[in-house]
Amino acid sequence: MNPLERFMAKVHKLPSGCWQWLGKIQPNGYARFAIRHATHAYAHRWIFEHERGSITPGLDLDHLCRNRWCVNPDHLEAVSRRENLLRGDTIPARHAVKTHCSKGHAYDEANTYLYRGMRYCKECRRDRYRGKVVALPVLFLE
C-alpha cells in the first residue's frame, strides 16, 4: 500500500468537512503519520504538502476549522506564525483585541506606544512618573 492509501485509511470524513484522524494523536493534539519505518510527520503537514506542494519556510499551517486533529487540506492555510497566533485562542490574540488598558485608557494612536513588540498606555506611564500610582505593597517576612 502506498503512503497516500495508508494515510486515507486513517481518515474519517465528517459532515462538517473535517477529516478526523483515526491514527496517533500527539499530546499537543496534532495528528502524527508514519510515512515509513521510523520516519514520522505531522499528518496535516504531510497531506498539505502532498496535495498543494511544499510549505514556504517560515510559515505555519493554520487550521481554519480550529480542530488540530483535522487533516483536510481545504481546512489548512499557510500563514505567518504571528497571524496563526492572532487567529487562535492565545494570550497574544486576547491582548490584541483589547481596546483599553487596565485603568480604562483607550489604546489609540495618541495614547499608545510600543516597546519590544507590546502595547503600553502613555497616560498610565505619565501617572507613574507623576507619582499618582500607589507603590506595590511590601511583603513582610516573619
pTM over 0.75: no
pLDDT of 140 higher than 60:
no
Q: For residue 140, is it within any domain?
A: no
Q: What percent of the chain has pLDDT over 70?
A: 92
Domain that holds residue 54: 3-92
Tell me the per-residue pLDDT of 46-64, one tens digit each, with 9 for 90 and over.
Answer: 999 999 999 999 999 999 9
Q: For residue 117, is it within any domain?
A: yes
Tell me the per-residue pLDDT of 71-108, one tens digit each, with 9 for 90 and over.
Answer: 999 999 999 998 998 898 888 888 888 999 888 999 99
Q: How many helices (H) and strands (E) does the chain have?
A: 5, 8
> What CATH number is associated with residue 82?
3.90.75.20
Amino acid 139: pLDDT: 59
Reading the block at residue 5, the C-alpha cell is 492509501
Same domain, 87 and 104: no
Same domain, 117 and 51: no
Same domain, 81 and 124: no
* Span 107-126, average pLDDT: 90
Same domain, 80 and 102: no
pLDDT of 133 higher than 70:
no
Q: How many domains does the chain have?
A: 2
Q: Rounded CA gap, 121 and 57, in Å? A: 35
Q: CA 59, 63, 68, 70 torsion: positive or negative? A: negative
pLDDT of 134 higher than 70:
no
**Mean pLDDT, the chain, whole residue set:** 89
Tell me the per-residue pLDDT of 28-41, one tens digit each, with 9 for 90 and over.
Answer: 999 999 988 778 99
Q: For residue 124, is it within any domain?
A: yes
